[in-house]
A and B are shown apart, each in its own frame.
Chain A
């Protein structure tokens, strides 16, 4: 089973049998349960916590801010976010205390009996309030980060343009709705002073320093272990550090292991969300549709604390031009604070927001010009050799045109549009929409170089090879794909190589499992490690031994054949053999974070989407009928698993674009239940027709590029564009719930 084969999912049988143990399934001796006490208002000064005298507090243990031994902060990029707020409240639901108890019910009821008194003050929790600050009272705006990207002269470009099209777009927040809620277990320090954390998480090496910092102990005294993770999508990138700090404190306070599992309502209302965004675009184009100038303003709602906003903002900026060449560019972007739960990582990480806006805007331009949406895209899309606004030259692996061709051809896009026009069938209108887009793989700029990710291959005395990396299996298939990559390079059967869920006491830091980097970056390190392992095996054999050209194994100097396993055992001896490799970054033109110029990403993955929808103009309901997807992933290491990610991400994007409405009232997300926060079901999903395009990347395993986030970036805009096609009315916000569609139709004064 080499690269390109659909090796069976290693963890599949256990998951199918219900044997896989998630954090809430693990039996632990003497386990207690935790609950979080939360602020009842969106902003204010904390006065006091009062324990209800009618409750028997001897049954439980309460943890307060003053019990924090190190620093009262959950370190993410910065240390602005308290672990337990003790003075200022910045969002409704902000943790102020913790309760540990012998049962989850007891912990939760005790938590409800702690009254939190706050002197409430003014708060900002709506996008229009944030925009009001941005436009009219910028001195009140609390900015987490600002980025400006300039290329050539946008003012001159706009003046020279034949046509300038302006519009504004808003994309809503999004909740991950991983089926497994946030779950974390903390253990009290053992005799050696080591504090263990185990739970549902993406980045054990993010959680470790956060817990250590809060506890005031060295990183080495905290061991973090990933348990089987039931979905994450970025929602378990930074938030687990909060969960881990909380269970560490409770375990320390009660001297027992403590498990905290958030209720679904709590998870939906108070954990991190996708940054909602406002994107204002002024685009200058020529008569023939050539894109001349692009002036973009972006405001991201960062919620109450910084968390990852600086990086989300960066990615939003770097994808704001879309998959096009613009001669003159100015992007001014700001991530600012509101009194909502902190925004965090979510698949796409800023790119879906700006790509949705630019793709909707391109259709607005095409309509004004009288060009078709596919023709205008073809006129301007990026190709190998194109230069992006950052100055980066796309020197290889640019498959966007092939993706566009694929969806246009397979959907019969041109024919359908001609046939249909604004045809009305029983009051319903049909439309088709397109989008093209990309996603930069890996960390931006010098990020991967700075991470200096390390991976280890360990040969056990029995000849089996273990992969030791900090990357986490969360359903995407790491447990299967990494052994495939390694075994292909070694020339052995895939079941001779294995990977286990990481534990920081056993694995090196190969970086976080984010940013579509695992296969492309860590897979590459493992490929290099496997090559070195082969060299080490040969070096341990009699001089003159060589790798067999066929049939596997090695040929000894005397002509005898030695199986790979025996040769590996020869190297491993009784103690095993370790190969450690570090990431070797590609040559780059450098990166200037202040100007956002240089080589932003080693390579981009590309995509195109075509969708057909039906719109009922009386109710505003948009029903997707069929979805054509084309994604250039470089190389699909495991086509079945790749398909799973690409289809799954596309439907998650469909939900974000159409049904996942998260409105805020009184500083709180009111859609905090699966009943009211609508994610797509079996019955909502149109037939999907996926084509994986492979334009290989020279430095990816087998040519592979990142694909985890790519499918988040195009579906929403394609739906907006299909609605425009169906009704003649462009949408300016998502989710395109019926109220939004009806309002747009009403505002346009179009009646059909």
Chain B
């Protein structure tokens, strides 16, 4: 069954038509065509599919797109660079070696952005806890923590 929703995606309002069985991940990637958001496990364990919906970090592989009401504001990795905190995080990730293969990176950045948006001075424990829903197999996490710490206001250890 086809449904239509008016979503604000990365600041742009558009009418999106999709099958009611589709996950938000599928709508973002296949209907809207934004492929920065990744599918890695499809079961909500790895965080690679993370996006921000109405200010909250969500796993798009576990969200049925049809359950989101009209007017939902969705932020994906492609929209992150429109915000100063987003750009600072991206620059910090590159500088601190927090990126290797890059597949977990969009989800990581969304999680970091969500965290620092509400808790700009997060310490290491808070960072590790808040981001523990995002898996990385390449880095061992320490360099990602340092990248996020660098962005945390006044945070530098």
Binding site for B on A (CB under 8 A): 6, 8-9, 11-22, 24-25, 27, 176-181, 228-233, 263-264, 474-477, 640-641, 643-645, 647-652, 673-675, 679-683, 685, 687-688
Contact = CB atoms under 8 A, between A and B. Distances in A.
B140 A264 contact: no
Contacts of A681: 132-133, 135, 141
A143 to B, nearest CB: 33
B143 A230 contact: no
A475 B100 contact: yes
A153 to B, nearest CB: 44
A409 B80 CA distance: 44
Given A264-B43, A641-B97, A647-B143, A230 B132 contact: no
Given A9-B94, A264-B40, A681-B135, A179 B103 contact: yes
A20 B102 contact: yes
A14 B99 CA distance: 11
A25 B99 contact: no
7 contacts: A16-B94, A16-B102, A179-B137, A264-B42, A652-B137, A674-B45, A682-B132
A179 B48 contact: yes
Interface in B22-74: 29, 33-43, 45-46, 48
Nearest to B103: A230
A17 B93 CA distance: 11
A231 B101 contact: yes
B93 A16 contact: yes
A1 to B, nearest CB: 14
Contact of B43 (A9, A11, A674, A683): A674
B143 A179 contact: no
Contacts of B95: 8
B142 interface: yes
Interface-central residue, B76, B81, B131, B138, by most chain A CB under 10 Å: B138
Contact of B135 (A9, A477, A674): A674
A648 B35 contact: no
B128 A230 contact: no
Nearest to B100: A475
B152 interface: no
A674 B46 contact: yes
Given A15-B105, A682-B145, A683-B129, 20 more contacts: A9-B94, A9-B99, A12-B94, A17-B78, A18-B106, A21-B35, A27-B33, A177-B135, A178-B103, A179-B38, A180-B40, A180-B101, A228-B102, A230-B38, A474-B101, A643-B97, A644-B97, A673-B41, A674-B46, A682-B132
A541 B132 CA distance: 59
A683 B106 contact: no
A648 B38 CA distance: 21
B134 A177 contact: no
B114 interface: no
Nearest to A674: B45
Contacts of A229: 101
B104 interface: yes
B67 to A, nearest CB: 20
Interface-central residue, B38, B91, B128, B145, by most chain A CB under 10 Å: B38
Contacts of A688: 140, 142
Contacts of B77: 17-18
B45 A16 contact: no
Contacts of B116: none
Contacts of B42: 263-264
B140 A648 contact: yes
B105 to A, nearest CB: 5
Contacts of B129: 682-683
A12 B89 CA distance: 12
B140 A679 contact: no
B135 A179 contact: yes
Contacts of A641: 97
A9 B140 CA distance: 18
Contact of A644 (B33, B137, B143): B143
Contact of A682 (B37, B43, B141): B141
B137 A679 contact: yes
B140 A178 contact: no
Contact of A178 (B35, B91, B101): B101
A180 to B, nearest CB: 4
A12 B93 contact: yes
B137 A15 contact: no
Nearest to A711: B140
B136 interface: yes
B99 A685 contact: no
A685 B94 contact: no
Nearest to B104: A179
Contacts of A21: 35
Contacts of B40: 179-181, 264
Interface in B83-116: 90-91, 93-97, 99-106, 109
A230 B102 contact: yes
Given A233-B137, A264-B40, A683-B129, A179 B142 contact: no
Nearest to A180: B103
Nearest to B79: A18
Contacts of A652: 137, 140
Contacts of A474: 101
Contacts of B48: 179
B128 A18 contact: no
B139 interface: yes
Contact of A675 (B38, B43, B106, B132): B43
3 A-B pairs with least C-beta separation:
A18-B36, A230-B103, A475-B101
Contacts of A685: 140-142
A680 B131 CA distance: 12
A641 B95 CA distance: 11
B118 to A, nearest CB: 18
A13 B94 contact: yes
A475 B138 contact: yes
B132 A683 contact: yes
Contacts of A181: 40
B104 A17 contact: no
Contacts of B142: 647, 685, 687-688
Given A24-B39, A674-B43, A675-B43, A647 B101 contact: no
A19 B143 contact: no
Contacts of A233: 137
A679 to B, nearest CB: 6
A230 B41 CA distance: 13
A9 B136 contact: no
Contacts of A640: 96-97, 143
A648 B137 CA distance: 7
Contacts of B143: 640, 643-644, 647
A477 B100 contact: yes
Contacts of A647: 139-140, 142-143
A179 B45 CA distance: 11
Interface string B119-155: 0000000011101111111111111110000000000
B105 A16 contact: yes
B137 A178 contact: yes
Contacts of B36: 17-19
Contacts of B136: 179
A228 B145 CA distance: 24
A22 B103 contact: yes
A9 B97 contact: yes
A648 B101 CA distance: 12
A181 B141 CA distance: 20
B140 A650 contact: yes
Interface-central residue, B38, B80, B137, B141, by most chain A CB under 10 Å: B137
A432 to B, nearest CB: 20
A181 B49 CA distance: 14
A673 B100 contact: no
